[in-house]
């Protein structure tokens, strides 16, 4: 499938809620300025504001430039609102299935207007808290669109701060990303939406096609299906959730099938033909699917148009800023972090990169981030979480491996919760006696696994051995004890598995 040109600074989705178009914040003090700073950050998303907060806590004089609202995609049209809607779906499931626990209730109905109001309250509370942190640490916030020029000069225009020019001893590019679109599926807000627009739905479609089976697509497919929409995922690659371990993907596919989600892989999409109330999505050789809504979830494109003349900053063919392992661009004293560079597009990776570059600016010697071991969390139902190698990748890297898998269907806490879909899989180096040595990867599918990944993530990053982890006592009954059981079985002995 081919990509349409990336939308540049499309602001139409940022103020979708009535009455918010002219409301920057009741507490945000926008400070026009023309001065020199220790550090100037272009972009106020997770990577940008984390740089400002961490640097300011170390005593640096910092300005942050944001053309919309600090918090970026993650807070306003990404991580936070998406998980709020997924939690709504979880509550809906709980009420719907309450009779299994002897709790009799009327079949639930959904008022999306109330859902959207609650979502906005969460966003507003977090936004006001972030604004308060920035003010408390004396970070200068400049409202407008910043462009970098020679000699670390940043010119700001098009915002409440007016025409401003500032200079930083160091400049950080944290300009973020936007949803990718594809040819033949132009966003119209009626039949075709991206991950931005779907977060502001006020009416639930009866049928929907999700184009793209990655993390974002699977989250929205899961949310819609749990709320009652008939969902079909169309994925061009051979499987959904590329990058996940094969066993984890299979577990999700089984769970999706039970939900009634149709997953069609290995099919490109060619366009759609709108009708009066539905549109026909054309895919594969001769496939056609009539749906009320199409959600395009094919990844995100970097927003890297903050470069003016004479910067010396280079970009890749895909539009990312070129950086080395220290997040340094090709221009002296200019760093780039977050979604605008070719590292995992995760808010928590942006946080880590922010800390990493500030430590360098302060003259410290931090260790470069090992992007192959960062934690991943996908919030569909069942949830997915992992860190380190997949089994296939470990073998390809030359390791001789041994694996162990345990399913939640035998876990007491999962049975109590009534959520037994999923598994824990641990990948370790194979010792001469056939047991496991160093842990290479941990893969979880099931209830609340995004909250359980911590000890597996530490094991992978500390290069712990199976024997070392197996010595830890896991609480009982708990979901996390399945991780302990799985690791224990790699020592050559086990309890229940």
For 412, the enclosing helix (H) or strand (E) is helix 412-417
pLDDT in tens, 129-180: 999 999 999 999 999 999 999 999 999 999 998 999 999 999 999 999 999 9
Interstrand relation of 140-143 and 287-291 (parallel, antiparallel or unpaired):
unpaired
Q: Over pLDDT 70: what percentage of the chain?
A: 93
pTM: 0.92
Comparing CA positions, the residue from 228, 278, 227, 43 lying closest to residue 145 is 43
Cross-strand partners of 383: 446
Distance CA 455, CA 444 (A): 12
Distance CA 276, CA 190 (A): 11
pLDDT in tens, 73-105: 999 999 999 999 999 999 999 999 999 999 999
CB 247 within 8 A of CB 443: yes
What residue has token string 């079949």? 107
pLDDT given for residue 35 in this prediction: 80
Residue 295 backbone dihedrals phi, psi, to 5 degrees = -110, 115
What residue has token string 């272009």? 42
Instruction: Give counts: helices (H), strands (E), the chain.
Output: 12, 22
Cis? peptide before 477, omega within 30° of 0: yes
* Tokens at 36, concatenated: 């020199």
**CA atoms 183, 189, 192, 194: torsion sign:** positive
Q: How confident is the model at residue 45 (pLDDT cuts 50, 70, 90)?
A: very high
Distance CA 419, CA 430 (A): 32
pLDDT given for residue 9 in this prediction: 30
Q: What's the rounded mean pLDDT across residues 1-5?
A: 35
Residue 397 backbone dihedrals phi, psi, to 5 degrees = -80, -5
Comparing CA positions, the residue from 491, 214, 248 lying closest to residue 392 is 248
What stretches of 296-409 show up as alpha helix (H) in DSSP?
347-361, 391-396
- Domains of the chain (ranges plus CATH)? 1-179+299-372 (3.50.50.60), 192-298 (3.50.50.60), 382-489 (3.30.390.30)
Q: What's the rounded mean pLDDT across residues 241-261?
A: 97
pLDDT in tens, 289-337: 999 999 999 999 999 999 999 999 999 999 999 999 999 999 999 999 9
If phi over 0 gives left and psi between -120 and 50 gives alpha, with beta otherwise, what is residue 9?
left
Distance CA 216, CA 346 (A): 12
What residue has token string 């903050």? 306
So which residues are the catalytic ones? Answer: 476
Q: How confident is the model at residue 15 (pLDDT cuts 50, 70, 90)?
A: very low
Residue 204, burial from CB neighbour count under 10 angstroms (0-12, 13-18, 19+): middle
pLDDT in tens, 359-395: 999 999 999 999 999 999 999 999 999 999 999 999 9
pLDDT given for residue 34 in this prediction: 54
| Strand locations in 77-182 (E) | 140-143, 145-148, 153-157, 164-173, 177-179
């Amino acid at each position: 499938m081919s990509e349409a040109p990336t939308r540049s600074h499309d602001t139409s989705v940022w103020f979708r809620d009535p009455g918010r178009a002219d409301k920057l914040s009741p507490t945000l003090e926008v400070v026009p300025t023309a001065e020199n700073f220790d550090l100037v950050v272009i972009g106020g998303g997770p990577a940008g504001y984390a740089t400002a907060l961490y640097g300011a806590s170390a005593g640096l004089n910092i300005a942050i430039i944001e053309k919309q609202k600090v918090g970026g995609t993650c807070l306003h049209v990404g991580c936070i609102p998406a998980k709020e809607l997924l939690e709504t779906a979880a509550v809906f499931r709980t009420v719907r299935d309450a009779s299994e626990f002897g709790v009799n209730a009327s079949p639930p109905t959904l008022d999306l207007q109330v859902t959207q109001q609650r979502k906005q309250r969460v966003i507003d509370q977090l936004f006001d808290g972030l604004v308060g942190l920035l003010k408390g640490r004396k970070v200068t916030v400049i409202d407008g669109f910043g462009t970098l020029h020679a000699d670390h000069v940043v010119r700001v225009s098009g915002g409440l701060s007016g025409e401003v020019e500032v200079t930083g001893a160091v400049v950080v590019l944290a300009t973020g990303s936007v949803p990718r679109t594809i040819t033949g599926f132009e966003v119209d807000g009626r039949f075709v939406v991206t991950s931005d627009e779907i977060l502001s739905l006020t009416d639930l479609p009866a049928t929907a096609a999700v184009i793209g089976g990655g993390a974002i697509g699977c989250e929205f497919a899961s949310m819609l299906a749990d709320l009652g929409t008939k969902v079909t995922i169309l994925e061009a690659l051979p499987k959904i959730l590329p990058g996940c371990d094969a066993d984890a993907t299979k577990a999700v596919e089984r769970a999706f099938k039970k939900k009634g989600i149709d997953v069609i892989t290995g099919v490109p999409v060619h366009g759609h033909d709108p009708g009066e109330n539905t549109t026909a999505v054309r895919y594969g050789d001769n496939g056609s699917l009539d749906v009320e809504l199409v959600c395009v979830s094919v990844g995100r494109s970097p927003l890297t148009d903050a470069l003016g003349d004479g910067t010396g900053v280079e970009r890749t063919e895909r539009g990312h800023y070129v950086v080395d392992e220290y997040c340094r661009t090709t221009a002296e004293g200019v760093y780039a972090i977050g979604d605008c560079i070719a590292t995992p597009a995760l808010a928590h990776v942006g946080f880590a990169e922010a800390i990493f570059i500030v430590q360098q600016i302060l003259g410290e010697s931090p260790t470069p981030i090992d992007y192959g071991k960062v934690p991943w969390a996908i919030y569909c139902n069942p949830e997915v979480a992992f860190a380190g190698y997949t089994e296939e990748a470990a073998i390809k890297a030359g390791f001789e491996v041994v694996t162990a898998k345990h399913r939640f269907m035998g876990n007491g806490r999962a049975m109590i919760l009534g959520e037994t879909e999923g598994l824990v899989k641990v990948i370790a180096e194979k010792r001469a006696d056939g047991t496991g040595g160093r842990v290479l990867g941990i893969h979880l599918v099931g209830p609340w696994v995004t909250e359980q990944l911590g000890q597996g993530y530490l094991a992978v990053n500390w290069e712990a051995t199976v024997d070392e982890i197996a010595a830890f006592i896991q609480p009982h009954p708990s979901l996390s004890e399945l991780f302990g059981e799985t690791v224990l079985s790699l020592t050559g002995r086990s309890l229940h598995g």
